[in-house]
Amino acid sequence: MQQTTLGQTELSVSELGFGAAPIGMLDTEIEQVGRVINYLLDHGVNFIDTGSCYRGSEEAIGQTVGHRRDDYVLLSKCGHASGFEGEDFTPEVITANIDRSLERMKTDHLDICLLHSCGQDVLEKGEAMGALVEAREAGKVRFAGYSGDNAAAAYAAGLPDVAVIETSINICDQVNLDTVLPACRKRDVGVIAKRPIANAAWKSLDSQPGMYQNYASEYHRRFNLMSVTPNDLGYHGHPEVEWPEIALKFTLAHEGVHTAIPGTTSTVNAEHNVEAVNKNPLREEVVNKLKAAFAKARDIDPDGDWSGRT
């Protein structure tokens, strides 16, 4: 699988990463977690993304692939006070988050740690980023950054200590293409695309597992307004087979996106994601049609929420 240097870091990451939120949030059996992550590592994926507040995710990573720590670049996120005394994004909570993440994942360092979707006001205050920098200077974290969207992410991309941004980029979430990506390219900030397959917005909400019935609802609304089919794009297979590949390749088609991190609890889906990334890139005409469909949908519903989904 093709790898690229993650912006201004020296980290080499695969185009396809693994978003580890679902394995925790959907209470996936530990044996299945091991099958999914080990399959991906064995097939060229070397980037794992998780978060301190993703219930059970960090523990599952430590249990299943902690012994393979040299095989992957590891990212976690910090700032939420869940499980600790104090308020979100205080230096004390951030330090406690990082220390707990290291213990859970059986490692002595995170390759990347991101402030987890705090507002721009928190970034401007500076204490949260200062705590992350202290962790970097102590050797607990190699590179610091920010996970979020819209104006806050564009602002974060300009901060001198931010080396990595994680932001929402997919067929149903295209605003950050014009706001966050240019700010990242200006400083060669590494970009991780979250939600790259738009939470499978083409599926009915009733078929979404657990919390994702609600979580996917906004993308589902946007997707229906976009009113585009794989056939419109030159693909003639079953939509639920074609859409994951189209969506993932759309996300990766944009300059400055270094890796995309679909999450899954299914080995079959992991196999399909690997196959999709190893195929030829999405044709420019298809990318343009998907952009036009998004723009048309916004015109149809100008009062709707079309911002990046934090």
Q: What is the pLDDT of residue 20?
A: 98
In a domain, 237, yes or no: no
**Residue 305: inside a domain, yes or no?**
no
pLDDT tier for residue 310 given thresholds of 50, 70 and 90: confident
Examine residue 72 and state whether it is found in any structural domain, yes or no. Answer: yes
The pLDDT value given to residue 85: 85
Is 270 within a domain?
yes
Average pLDDT over the chain reads 97
State the average pLDDT over residues 67-73.
Answer: 98
**157 belongs to a structural domain:** yes
Domain count, the chain: 1
Q: What pLDDT does residue 6 have? A: 98
3-state secondary structure 141-185: EEEEEEECCHHHHHHHHCCCCCCEEEEECECCECHHHHHHHHHHH
Whether residue 228 is contained in a domain is answered as no
CA atoms within 13 A on the CB side of 249: 22
82 has pLDDT over 90: no
Tens of pLDDT, residue by residue over 255-277, are 999 999 999 999 999 999 999 99
- Beta carbons of 80 and 118 less than 8 angstroms apart: no
Residue 232: both structure tokens together: 């419109």
Where does the pLDDT of residue 286 fall: very low under 50, low under 70, confident under 90, or very high at 90 and above? very high
Cα-based angle 127, 131, 133 (whole degrees, multiple of 5): 115
Q: Is residue 145 part of a domain?
A: yes
List, in sequence order, every residue forming a beta bridge with 167; answer none if it has no partner. Answer: 193
The CATH number given to whatever domain includes residue 99 is 3.20.20.100
The pLDDT tens digits of the residues spanning 175-216 come to 999 999 999 999 999 999 999 999 999 999 999 999 899 999
Q: What is the DSSP letter of 229?
A: -
Residue 218 has a CB neighbour count (10 Å cut-off) of 18
Q: Is residue 239 part of a domain?
A: no
Q: Is the predicted pLDDT of residue 84 greater than 90, yes or no?
A: no
Q: Are 195 and 173 in contact (CB under 8 A)?
A: yes
Mean pLDDT along residues 242-249:
98
Domain that holds residue 162: 3-199+255-282
Q: What is the pLDDT of residue 83?
A: 86
- Is residue 258 a contact partner of residue 190, using CB atoms and an 8 Å limit? yes
pTM over 0.75: yes
Q: Are 191 and 217 in contact (CB under 8 A)?
A: no
